Amino acid sequence: MSTDTDTETQNLTLVQAVRDGLRTEMQRDDDVIVLGEDVGKNGGVFRATEGLYDEFGDDRVIDTPLAESGIVGTSIGMAAYGLRPVPEIQFMGFIYPAFDQIVSHAARLRTRTRGRFTCPMVVRAPYGGGIRAPEHHSESKEAFFVHEPGLKVVIPSTPADTKGLLASAIRDPDPVVFLEPKLIYRAFREDVPTGEHTVPLGEAAVRREGSDVSVFTWGAMTRPTMEAAENLADAGVDCEVIDLRTLSPLDRETIVDSFEKTGRAAVVHEAPRTGGLGGEITAILQEESLLYQEAPIQRITGFDTPVPLYALEDYYLPSPTRIEDGIREVVDF
Amino acid sequence: MSDVFDRDPDDRVRILDESGELVGDLPDLSDAELVDLYRYMRLARHFDERAVNLQRQGRMGTYPPLAGQEAAQVGSAMALDPRDWIAPSYREHAAVHVHGLDLADILLYWMGHGAGGWRADVNVLPAAVPIATQVPHTTGVALASKLRGESEGSDSPRKTGEAGDSEESRSSDHRTKSGDAVACAYFGDGATSEGDFHEGLNMAGVFDVPAVFLCNNNGWAISVPRERQTASPTLAGKAVAYGIDGVQVDGMDPLATYEVTRAAVEKARTPGDRPRPTLIEAVQYRFGAHTTADDPTVYRDEAEVEAWRRRDPIPRLERFLRETGRLDDAAVEDIEASVRDQVSAAIERAEHTPRPDPDAMFDDVYAGLPPALRDQRAYLHRLRDRHGDDAFLKD
């Protein structure tokens, strides 16, 4: 599964693993350059780049003017030249000025030049709700980028995966949108390999094996989904929980195999329901495994509303109770 | 102040120096208005201190402080007529209050409550949290105002609706002026790096709209200093590229910010010899953090903060008002007491506003509720009936 250079580990939070992943890849490859708003001297508003400015200097950790389109557009130029830029967008809700650069250029530079120019760039952004943040700081719009051919989309849910997936994304020859679940940036620690560590893109992880129902999720929703699964286990329902980790390209094989074992499925995501990845996963199961299906597939998701200001966000985000309720609908059908 | 716009971009307009001495012409403000200007700044400072404390005590979410920036906000907003529009950033608590938003509603927004941050009878757009997005909106409001040409003493276009408590809005002392309603954008130095800033100002110049673009240059965009934001020697100088006027003003001089904005508004209202739009660069400093989630000691020196504190707009206006007999100890004490009471009352009202009904999430997404949203709302009702609200709420 993962490739490590040694067996030493450090006990890190997810955001520390981001930093460690960046640092390890920057030590490995001089072409890796971090740029964005407040990533240098300040070490990032979430401290994800803390210490990198002092270690690598201002040629490799670049504080930029406040300009998302400029940050990503500049990164595309650097990537076309042959560097490996890792631009940070401070919050996913502020990525939209860069949307044109990402979808019109990063995603298709390879296609447009038949590989003469490529865009090995990783756009990092914290995403998701649940931290009582101000407006526009809680978005989960991964589906926008999954919808764009030419991009890869990755969302880790554990510290070790964060480091390993980030390293793979940086080494990947194509542009990757790397979304970090800020709700769990500091929620727990895990042993993370100290040296080089990669986790391949495009492979889901089975977080809990089970026989009654397959529950597909990713990122910050993995924890409440696991909590719901444990509660249901006490009630005699055996959930298999699959953390997709890479949303584009999807690991269709793991998704289908699990469903063909259980015959029942739910998808949990905090993004709005309509046009979210739940629909795509459901369609894959319809295409591949219709005859295994024993119940309607449930989507347990954010609502088709803007993320509300934080007084109501607990109602918006799928909670363990809501996830449990949805899984029961599938199992009791 | 006929020379407000005939000057170099780095020739900063000043009226009241750091020691409270007049170094320019006193604007045409009555004694009562001058005291109002002072009182609004005291109110803003006290509001800000209380708001930061509310956040520290877990009674409010992340909050962006304004301390140090009172003069630019209050001085400029007092130069607007109630029918004019403000398109604010997220730090303009004082400006939008002067223009008519209740303090309690401003607090409610930062308490995560959707009923806050706007008011039915006030022309203040919701705070732009992404950066510089409000700049083209300002051009659009101004273009609409120009196209509709509500001139010559016509009534305010504002809709009257559910009026909140009208605590302390300025509507009583407004002067109706002829000409078009003016739109005023407030944004920071960082915003001038965004594409929307360029596009909005460019279109404002092309359409020659009645707009004022007020850049609160507080020296820092979170951790990035102004000199790393642009290689341009001034922000006011950027106006040259758009064919509009640009002027730099001491942003901690309440009389100068008032006067420059007043002149820009007057010029905007009706077509004349000069371009109608103006870019104002108000040079100032934020004494505190970018937001309560930020730690400025990581990126700037305390000595720099102290140097700017000596230019604090509030003591300098107080000194001037006292020395010219417009203010005495008793009046200052009255103002302090009334400001405290007013902010306490606003906090009381905000904190006693019940959590919104979860239906509020669904009800205003569209004018009408589409079937899918109706189903989702009903689903949430069923879940709450089945499990109780405590199963959802973390606090």
Q: Which of residues 162-221 of B touch A (CB under 8 A)?
A: 190-191, 193-196, 221
Same domain assignment for residues A9 and A147: yes
Residues of B229-248 as b/e, b for ≥16 C-beta within 10 angstroms?
bbeeebbbbbbeebebbbbb
Above 70 in pLDDT, residue B1? no
A188 touches B at CB < 8 Å: no
Chain A residues near residue B218 by CB distance under 8 angstroms: none
Alpha carbon distance B373, A136 (integer Å): 21
Q: Which of A137, A147, A197, A269 is catalytic?
A: A137
Average of pLDDT values for A203-221? 98
Q: Between chains, do A96 and B130 touch, taking CB under 8 Å as contact?
A: yes
Shortest Cα distance from B277 to chain A (angstroms)? 24
CA distances, A185 to each of A158, A217, A317, B20, B129 (Å): 9, 18, 17, 49, 23
Tens of pLDDT, residues A267-293? 999 999 999 999 999 999 999 999 999
- How does residue B165 score in pLDDT terms, banded at 50, 70 and 90? very low
User: Are A175 and A233 within one domain?
Assistant: no
User: Does position A42 have pLDDT exceeding 60, yes or no?
Assistant: yes
Do A14 and A73 reside in the same domain of the chain? yes
Instruction: Kindly state the average pLDDT of the residues B231-236.
Output: 98
Is B38 one of the catalytic residues? no
pLDDT digits (tens, 9 = 90+) for A157-177: 999 999 999 999 999 999 999
Q: What are phi and psi of B372, to 5 degrees?
A: -65, -40
- Burial state string for B109-120 with b = 16 or more CB within 10 A and e = fewer than 16: bbbbbbbbbbbe
In this predicted structure, what is the pLDDT of residue A1? 56
Q: Among A151, A181, A198, give the residue marking a domain's end.
A: A198
Residue B225 is classified by DSSP as E
Q: How many domains does chain A have?
A: 2
Domain shared by A321 and A184, yes or no: no
d(CA A22, CA B101): 45
Q: How far is B200 from chain A (nearest CA, A)?
A: 14
* Angle at which helices B31-56 and B313-323 cross, to 10°: 150
How many percent of chain A have pLDDT more than 70? 98
Q: What's the confidence (pLDDT) of residue B182?
A: 98
* Mean of per-residue pLDDT scores for chain A: 97
Domain at A117, CATH number: 3.40.50.970
The 10s digit of each residue's pLDDT in B136-163 is: 999 999 999 999 986 544 444 433 333 3
Q: Does A212 lie in the same domain as A193?
A: no
pLDDT at B352: 97
Last residue of a domain, one of A198, A222, A252: A198
CA separation, residue B178 to residues A48, B154, B156, B270, B273 (Å)? 54, 8, 11, 8, 17
Q: Does B298 touch chain A (CB under 8 A)?
A: yes
Domain coverage including residue A261: 205-332
**One domain, residues A249 and A184:** no
Q: Are residues A163 and A263 in the same domain?
A: no
**In this model, does residue A207 exceed pLDDT 70?**
yes
If asked whether residues A91 and A36 sit together in one domain, one would say: yes
- pLDDT tier at A69 (50, 70, 90 boundaries)? very high
- How would you classify the pairing of strands A265-272 and A213-217? parallel
Same domain assignment for residues A94 and A143: yes
Tens-place pLDDT, residues B239-271? 999 999 999 999 999 999 999 999 999 999 999
Q: What is residue B287's predicted lDDT score, i.e. its pLDDT?
A: 97
Pair A253, A116 in one domain: no
pLDDT of residue B150: 61
Say whether residue A54 is in contact with chain B using an 8 A CB cutoff.
no
**What radius of gyration do chain A's Cα atoms show?**
19
Are A38 and B112 inside 8 Å of each other by CB? no
How high is the mean pLDDT of chain B?
93
Distance (Å, rounded) from C-alpha A27 to C-alpha B359?
51
Judged by a CB distance cut-off of 8 A, whether residue B393 touches chain A is: yes
Judge if A65 and A155 occupy the same domain.
yes
Residue B394 confidence (pLDDT): 78
Alpha-carbon span A66 to A97, nearest angstrom: 11
Catalytic residue list contains B290: yes
Phi, psi of A35 (to 5 degrees): -145, 155
Task: Indicate whether B9 pLDDT > 50.
Answer: yes
> In CATH, what number is assigned to the domain containing residue A254?
3.40.50.920
This complex has an ipTM of 0.94
Whether the pLDDT of residue B176 is over 60: the answer is: no
Residue where a domain terminates, one of A178, A198, A218: A198
A44 and A110 share a domain? yes
- Looking at residue A7, what is its pLDDT? 81
pLDDT tens digits for A226-270?
999 999 999 999 999 999 999 999 999 999 999 999 999 999 999
Mind listing the pLDDT tens digit for each residue in B286-344? 999 999 999 999 999 999 999 999 999 999 999 999 999 999 999 999 999 999 999 99
